[in-house]
A and B are shown apart, each in its own frame.
Chain A
C-alpha cells in the first residue's frame, strides 16, 4: 500500500514537471517577493523622485523652456552642428511642430513623473502592509504628482488627467481650471503630513516648504491660467515659508551652484545629481556637454569633447545692469581662463575672448556663428577634477528646483501686485538679493513690475521659471532676438505627436 502511494506521488510529480510552464525568474523580482521591509517601500517610492533627474539631460523640459525664452539660443555652430532638422531653432522662434523631439522629451518629463507617482500610490494601496512612515511618504508622492501636473498645465494648458493605473481607457483631457483645483486640493490635503523641518534626511524630498512654494507658484500664475488673480494666496504661501525661518539666503550667489552645493541654506527642493549615480541618458545633469566648445574642455579640467551648442541670447546678455556680478556668475564670456586662472589662447597669438553679442544673421539653417561668438552657460560650477569625461557622464552639482531667493522674489511680487510696493521695498531679504549681486537696493520708485521682471530674470536665469514669468509679465508674445511677435495661441505648447498617437482624446 505504501509502495503504491509512493508510486502515485512520484508519478504525479513527474507528470506535473512534464507539463509545468511556470517561468523561472532570476534577474528581476516579482511583487510578492519584493515588499517585505519598510526599506523596500521607500525604495519603491524612490521611483517617483528619480523621474526628476530627467530635468538636467540634453533634451528635457528644462532645456526646452530655457531655449523657448529670451535666455538661451542655439545657432548652428562653426562646424555646422546643432541644426538637426531645425528642432532647436523651432523652439526658440516659437514655431514648434508636433513631431519635434525636444517637445516630446519635455512632455515625457511630467508624464513619466505622474505615471511613476500613480504606480507608487497604487502599489502601496495594493500591498496589504503598513509601515511607520507610510502616511508621510504617500503625502510626499501626492505632492510630487501635483508638481508634475503643475509643469504640465503650466506649459500645455489642458492635459490628460490620470491618477491611477487601474483606470482603463484613454485619459480625458482636462482644462486648466480643473487641473488648478486638483493641484490646489491635492497639496492642501497632504501638506500637514509632510516634514516641516528640512533636516538633512529630507534633502531632495518634498517637505512642507516645498509644498508651500509649489502652492505659491500656482497662485502667482492664477490670473493667467484661470483668469482669477490670487495674489493674496500667493503672498500667504510665501509668508508661511519665510516666517517659519527654515531657509535663508546663501552668503554668495555662487554657493547655490557649486559642485557640492547641498549645504546651501537656500535650497528648498533639490534634484540631487552625482557623477556616479545619475550618469545615463535619462538621468544626468550634463549642461557642460551641451554648451561648452570642445577646445575649452581640457583647459577647464574636463576631459571630454563637448558639443558646443547652447549660447546666451545676446539681448539677454545686454539686459544686465552695470556691476551685476550674476552676469559673470551665470555666463562664460570675455577672456576665458583655465582652471588655474591663466588666460587661454584660441590660436597662437589669438586670445580666447568670447563676444556675447551676435547679429541675428548668424541664426538659421544656412548661417553659422563664429567660434568666439556667444556666451556659454557657466552658472553651475564646472567640476575640474577630471570626472566629467563626456557623453552622459553627469555633473555632481545638484539642481535647486525651488530656492529661497525665488520665494522672496515671489513674495515681493505678490505685494507689488497688490499695490503694497513700499512694504515690498522693506523686505530685507529682497534687498539682500540685490546687494549680494553687487547692486544697489531698489527704492520704492524703482520697484516697478518691469524692474521686478528683470530682477527675477537675472537672479533666476536659466533655472526654468522664465517661461511662466515672461507670460505673467506679458513679455512672452513680444518679439525678441530672432523671434517674431506671436499671438495668444502661442501661450501653450502643442501636444507632441507621440502623445496624440497614444491618446485620441488629445486630437
Chain B
C-alpha cells in the first residue's frame, strides 16, 4: 500500500515536471577533455550534478539560464535550447585569486586588481571548518600582520583580542574598528559565524584613513550573506562539539604533596589533612556544545530576502559555565521605481545568555591543599564545606555550588540603506544609510549564605542592567564612470553617530533564605540598614565626519586614490575636537605594460605605495572636562551629607593620538594564478600618545593625568603567498601562507613637563615582588628586564649573577628580550579529492619572550603548606630556596600550533529537493609544540605589559566537532 502511494506520488511529480519542462543532457569536461564529476548545474530552482563520467541530465524550462559550477573553475552559463537536447560543456580553470574579485574598502568596493591600499580580503571558503565562539576567532592566522589572541582559553564567553601591525598606543584601545554590514562599532558576537560571506581588513594608513579617528588599529569589515534572487533555498547547518583540556597548570597531586612535605618540608606536616582531593576535577566537566542554523532565501529581481535562525548552546569546562545564543535576522533587498531606488533592509534580534565562569575558583582549585577534604560535616556554619578562614583561600567547590549567575544581552538592530540612482546622470547615486541598535543587558548573581568570603552576610544578591544605543546616519554622493581609458570613482560623504550608555546595579544582602536568590531583592536587611549599594550612570558621545575620496585609473594600469576626512569627536578638549585625516595611494600594474605582456608565466604584477593619517580615540568619555562627582560622606551638623570633588584630573588639552603610516607593497601572481601573493612593507609612527602620567599630589587632585606626550613607531614586513601545487582531475591542493614581522620602538615617552616618569612596569605581586618590564626610549614595548640566573647554590638558593650582599641592584638587571615575536606565521591547506575535502591550519610564532607567572609564583618549595605548588618543582628538588626574580622565569615564547584539522565529505546523494549535503569532522587547537613550560606561550600581546601569562585563567581546551550542511 505504501509503495503504491509512493509510486503514485512520484508519478504525479514526474508528470508535473514533464508537463512544463524539457530535458537537457550532456557531458561536462575540463580543459583537457577529462570528465568532471559532481559538477553542479542550477537553473532557477532546478538542480542536478554530473556523475562520475561527467554526464548530466537536467529537467527544466525551455530557455532557462543554466549555471554550471565546479570548484576551481570559472562558472559557465548556457541557455536551454527550445525543446531541450544535448549540450556538452568544457570548463575553464579559474585563476586562484580572481583579479575581478570584489574587495570592500571603506564606503565602497573596488576589485582586487584596482586596490591601491593594503587590504586583506577573505572569502568564506578561506575560513576553516569548525566551531567558533564568534566570527573573530576565524581570523586567527589568516591575515598577515593581524594577531588574534584569546587569553581566556576555553571560556565560551571569552572575547578575542586583536592586534594589527604592532602596538600603536600606550593606553588607548587597541581593538580595530569593526564594521558589520555597514554598522560601525558593531558587536562581532551578534552574528553567526556561518553567515560570514567575506571579511576585509584595511591594514595600512591609506586604506584606513577614510575612517579617520578610529582607523589606527585597522578596520575589519564583515559582510554577511545577503539576499539573492532565485527560487527558495533552505540551508541547514548543524554541529555538535566536545572539548577536552589541552593544557593547564598542574599542581601537585595529594600523593606528591604529601611526599614533598614529608621529605623536603617536614616542619609543615601540620598542613597534611589525610585526604586526596583533585580540586580541578571537582569543578570541571566534559563540555558538550551544539549549534544550529537555518537560512531561507529567495525572491525575484525586485524583491528578495535571506532570513536566518540560529541557536547555539555552549558549555564551558567549568561546571555551570555556559553561553547560549538565539538569533533571528533578515536581509531584504528591494529594487523599485524603475531602477531609481534600491533598498536594503536589515533586521535582527539576538539574545545571548551566559553563565560566566568563576575564574577565582580555578585559581583556588590550583592552589588549594590537595590533602584537604572537600566537605566537613561539622562545619555547619560554612554549609558543610571544609573551610580554613584565611584571606584569599576559599573552597572552590563551594565557590561553584554556592553561586549562581546569569547574564542576558538582547540586541535589536535595524538598518536601512536607500540608494537613489540618479538615472539621467550615468553613474551618479545618492546613498543614505540609517542604522540603530538597541542593546539591553541584564545580569544577576547570587552568592548564598555559604559562599566563601561572604559567610555572615546571609546571602548576597546583585543585579545589573545596562543599555547601549548606537545610532548612525551616513549620507554619501557617489559617482563612478569610465571616460575612455579613464576610470573614475568619487565619493563625498557625511556621517553622524551617537552612542549612549546607561548602566545600573543593585546589591543587597541579609536574606532570610537562600531560596529567593536575586528574585526578591528588597527583603534583604542590608538595604534597610543602609548597607546595600545602588548605582546608575549614563554617558554619551558623538562622532561627526565629512569625507571625500577620488579613485582614478588609466587603462587599469596606473591607479591612484586620494581621500580626506574631517573628523570630530566629543571626547577631546574644547579646542581639539576636530582633526584632518588625509591619505593618498598609488598603484602601477606593470603586468599591463606592453613590454611585460609577452612574459607568459607572469599573470599579474602590481606595485603599490600609500600614505595615510589615522587617529585613535578609544578611551572613556569626559576625560577633558572638569566635572564634579559625589564620593565620600561627611558628618555635618548631625547628619551625613555627600561631599563633592573633581571627578578626575581634567585635561582640557586632550587631543588625538595621530598615526601616520607609509606603506609600499606588491601584488603578484604567476603561472595563470597557480602561485601568487602579496608583499608589504610599512612604517607607522604614532605621535601624541596618550598615557596616564604621574603627577604630584598636591597640586593635582589625583596621582595621574591622561595626556598626550610620547611617540611609538612600528616597522614591518608582511608576506602572503597562495598556491595550488597540485591540480588534477581528482585532486586539488591549495595552500596559503601568511608571515609577518614587526619591530616596535618607543621613540619618546617624556617631554619637558612630564620628564620624570616611572618607567618600571609589569608589577608581579608577592612572592615575586618585582617590576618585570621597563619603558625605555629607543627600545620596544614589552621589554623584559631581570637579573641573570646563575645556578642553584649548595644551600638550595638561586644564585644570581652580579650579586652583591644578596641582592642584584635594579640598575644591573639585564634586558632579556621583548614580548613581541620576531615573526608570526599562519599556514592553511586544503586538499580536495573527489568529494572529500581535507583542511589543516598551522600557526606559529618565532621569538618573543613570555613571563611564566605560574612558575614564578608556585614552583617553589617555600610556598608549600597552606597552599599547593606546581608539580614541576619535583623536577629539580635541589632548589629549595625562596623565590628570587630572575631571567629563569622569562622563557622563549616560540610555538607552533595545530589550529585546525578538518575532513568533510560532500554526499553524492542529491535530488531536486536536497541540492547538496555535506558532513564534516574537525579538531581545533589540537596541539602546541613549544619549549615553554607554562600553560600557553600565546598570551595577550595587547596593552602596555604584553607577554605576561596571568595565573588565573581558564585552561586551554581542544574542540572536536561533527557537523552537517544541507541545502534544500
Q: Which residues of A contact B (CB under 8 A)?
A: 18-31, 34, 40, 42-44, 46-47, 49-50, 53, 79-81, 83-85, 108, 111-112, 114-116, 118-119, 160, 162-167, 170-171, 200-201, 203-205, 272, 274-279, 282-283, 294-295, 297-298, 303-305, 307, 365-366, 387, 389-390, 393, 497-499, 501-504, 507
Contacts of A84 in B (CB 8 A): 766
Please determine whether A43 and B644 come into contact, CB atoms closer than 8 angstroms: yes
Please determine whether B767 and A85 come into contact, CB atoms closer than 8 angstroms: yes
Complex: A390 Cα to B625 Cα, angstroms: 37
Q: Binary interface profile of B, 680-705, with partner A (CB < 8 Å = 1, else 0)?
A: 00000000000000111111110100
Complex: A108 Cα to B700 Cα, angstroms: 12
Q: Which of B381, B391, B644 contacts A47 (CB 8 A)?
A: B644
What are 19 contact pairs spanning A and B, CB under 8 A?
A23-B570, A26-B539, A28-B627, A28-B647, A29-B644, A44-B644, A53-B632, A79-B390, A114-B698, A115-B697, A118-B698, A165-B698, A165-B699, A201-B638, A203-B635, A305-B453, A390-B454, A502-B695, A502-B703
Please determine whether B539 and A295 come into contact, CB atoms closer than 8 angstroms: no
Complex: A166 Cα to B537 Cα, angstroms: 31
Please determine whether A171 and B699 come into contact, CB atoms closer than 8 angstroms: yes
Contacts of B568 in A (CB 8 A): 19, 21
Please determine whether A305 and B628 come into contact, CB atoms closer than 8 angstroms: no
Complex: A504 Cα to B635 Cα, angstroms: 37
Query: Nearest CB to that of A166 among chain B residues?
Result: B699
Query: Nearest CB to that of B571 among chain A residues?
Result: A23
Please determine whether A31 and B538 come into contact, CB atoms closer than 8 angstroms: no
Please determine whether A393 and B540 come into contact, CB atoms closer than 8 angstroms: no
Q: Binary interface profile of B, 443-458, with partner A (CB < 8 Å = 1, else 0)?
A: 0000000000111111
Complex: A350 Cα to B694 Cα, angstroms: 54
Contacts of B765 in A (CB 8 A): 85
Please determine whether B643 and A23 come into contact, CB atoms closer than 8 angstroms: no
Please determine whether B381 and A298 come into contact, CB atoms closer than 8 angstroms: yes
Q: Which of B393, B622, B628 contacts A34 (CB 8 A)?
A: B628
Contacts of B695 in A (CB 8 A): 502
Complex: A1 Cα to B726 Cα, angstroms: 78
Q: Which of B529, B542, B632 contacts A50 (CB 8 A)?
A: B632
Q: Beyond A43-B643, A50-B643, A501-B694, is A23–B699 a contact (Cβ under 8 Å)? A: no
Contacts of A114 in B (CB 8 A): 698
Contacts of A278 in B (CB 8 A): 632-633
How many pairs, one residue from A and one from B, have CB atoms within 8 Å of each other in the complex? 213
Q: Which of B135-143, B751-759, B839-847 contacts A (4 or more CB under 8 A)?
A: B751-759
Query: Nearest CB to that of B624 among chain A residues?
Result: A23
Please determine whether B634 and A46 come into contact, CB atoms closer than 8 angstroms: yes
Query: Nearest CB to that of B765 among chain A residues?
Result: A85
Contacts of A507 in B (CB 8 A): 756
Contacts of A272 in B (CB 8 A): 635
Closest Cβ of chain B to A308, distance in Å, is 8
Contacts of B393 in A (CB 8 A): 79
Query: Nearest CB to that of A202 among chain B residues?
Result: B637
Which of B537, B628, B756, B882 is packed against the most chain A CB atoms within 10 Å? B628
Q: Binary interface profile of B, 464-478, with partner A (CB < 8 Å = 1, else 0)?
A: 000000000000000
Complex: A501 Cα to B757 Cα, angstroms: 6
Q: Say yes or no for B496: interface residue by CB 8 A criterion.
A: yes
Contacts of B531 in A (CB 8 A): 275-276, 279, 387, 389, 393
Q: Beyond A46-B643, A119-B646, A272-B635, is A502–B694 a contact (Cβ under 8 Å)? A: yes
Please determine whether A112 and B638 come into contact, CB atoms closer than 8 angstroms: no
Closest Cβ of chain B to A286, distance in Å, is 13
Closest Cβ of chain A to B82, distance in Å, is 59
Please determine whether A387 and B529 come into contact, CB atoms closer than 8 angstroms: yes
Complex: A116 Cα to B645 Cα, angstroms: 8
Q: Beyond A28-B629, A30-B628, A303-B457, is A47–B755 a contact (Cβ under 8 Å)? A: no
Please determine whether B636 and A25 come into contact, CB atoms closer than 8 angstroms: no
Complex: A304 Cα to B626 Cα, angstroms: 40
Please determine whether A503 and B696 come into contact, CB atoms closer than 8 angstroms: yes
Q: Which of B390, B640, B698 contacts A274 (CB 8 A)?
A: B640
Contacts of B645 in A (CB 8 A): 47, 116, 119
Contacts of B766 in A (CB 8 A): 83-85
Q: Which of B389, B629, B701, B756 contacts A119 (CB 8 A)?
A: B701
Closest Cβ of chain B to A205, distance in Å, is 8
Q: Beyond A387-B529, A501-B757, is A47–B570 a contact (Cβ under 8 Å)? A: no
Please determine whether A25 and B643 come into contact, CB atoms closer than 8 angstroms: no
Complex: A500 Cα to B473 Cα, angstroms: 50
Query: Nearest CB to that of B646 among chain A residues?
Result: A119
Q: Beyond A30-B628, A276-B529, A501-B694, is A165–B700 a contact (Cβ under 8 Å)? A: yes
Q: Beyond A115-B698, A160-B696, is A21–B570 a contact (Cβ under 8 Å)? A: yes
Contacts of B529 in A (CB 8 A): 275-276, 387
Please determine whether B866 and A304 come into contact, CB atoms closer than 8 angstroms: no
Please determine whether B539 and A21 come into contact, CB atoms closer than 8 angstroms: no
Complex: A34 Cα to B627 Cα, angstroms: 10
Complex: A204 Cα to B641 Cα, angstroms: 13
Which of B569, B635, B701 is packed against the most chain A CB atoms within 10 Å? B635
* Contacts A28-B628, A47-B643, A49-B643 known; 20 new A-B pairs at CB < 8 A: A18-B494, A21-B544, A21-B570, A23-B540, A23-B541, A34-B628, A44-B644, A46-B634, A46-B636, A85-B766, A119-B646, A163-B698, A165-B699, A276-B640, A303-B456, A305-B456, A390-B457, A501-B694, A503-B696, A507-B756
Please determine whether B634 and A201 come into contact, CB atoms closer than 8 angstroms: no
Please determine whether A23 and B622 come into contact, CB atoms closer than 8 angstroms: yes
Which of B390, B636, B757 is packed against the most chain A CB atoms within 10 Å? B636
Query: Nearest CB to that of A366 among chain B residues?
Result: B862
Q: Which of A162, A167, A297, A504 contacts B755 (CB 8 A)?
A: A504
Q: Which of B454, B570, B647 contacts A22 (CB 8 A)?
A: B570
Within 8 A of A (CB), among B604-637: 621-622, 625-629, 631-637
Query: Nearest CB to that of B865 among chain A residues?
Result: A80
Please determine whether A18 and B544 come into contact, CB atoms closer than 8 angstroms: yes
Query: Nearest CB to that of A398 among chain B residues?
Result: B635
Please determine whether A30 and B626 come into contact, CB atoms closer than 8 angstroms: yes
Q: Say yes or no for B108: interface residue by CB 8 A criterion.
A: no
Please determine whether A42 and B625 come into contact, CB atoms closer than 8 angstroms: no
Q: Beyond A165-B699, A305-B389, is A200–B570 a contact (Cβ under 8 Å)? A: no
Complex: A178 Cα to B628 Cα, angstroms: 34
Q: Say yes or no for B888: interface residue by CB 8 A criterion.
A: no
Complex: A200 Cα to B767 Cα, angstroms: 49
Query: Nearest CB to that of A17 among chain B residues?
Result: B496
- Among all A-B residue pairs, the 8 with the closest Cβ atoms: A303-B456, A46-B643, A294-B389, A46-B634, A272-B635, A276-B530, A277-B633, A50-B632
Query: Nearest CB to that of A499 among chain B residues?
Result: B696
Complex: A118 Cα to B631 Cα, angstroms: 18
Within 8 A of A (CB), among B545-591: 568-571, 577-578
Q: Which of A162, A276, A277 contacts B699 (CB 8 A)?
A: A162
Complex: A108 Cα to B530 Cα, angstroms: 28
Please determine whether B640 and A277 come into contact, CB atoms closer than 8 angstroms: yes
Complex: A29 Cα to B629 Cα, angstroms: 7
Closest Cβ of chain A to B819, distance in Å, is 23
Closest Cβ of chain B to A17, distance in Å, is 9
Please determine whether B643 and A111 come into contact, CB atoms closer than 8 angstroms: no
Q: Say yes or no for B911: interface residue by CB 8 A criterion.
A: no
Please determine whether B544 and A204 come into contact, CB atoms closer than 8 angstroms: no
Contacts of B494 in A (CB 8 A): 18
Contacts of A23 in B (CB 8 A): 540-541, 570-571, 621-622, 625
Complex: A419 Cα to B153 Cα, angstroms: 75
Please determine whether B698 and A295 come into contact, CB atoms closer than 8 angstroms: no
Q: Say yes or no for B769: interface residue by CB 8 A criterion.
A: yes
Closest Cβ of chain A to B786, distance in Å, is 17
Closest Cβ of chain A to B407, distance in Å, is 22
Q: Which of B621, B627, B755 contacts A29 (CB 8 A)?
A: B627
Contacts of B632 in A (CB 8 A): 46-47, 50, 53, 278, 282-283
Q: Binary interface profile of B, 642-666, with partner A (CB < 8 Å = 1, else 0)?
A: 1111110000000000000000000
Contacts of B701 in A (CB 8 A): 115-116, 119, 165
Q: Which of B542, B633, B696 contacts A170 (CB 8 A)?
A: B696
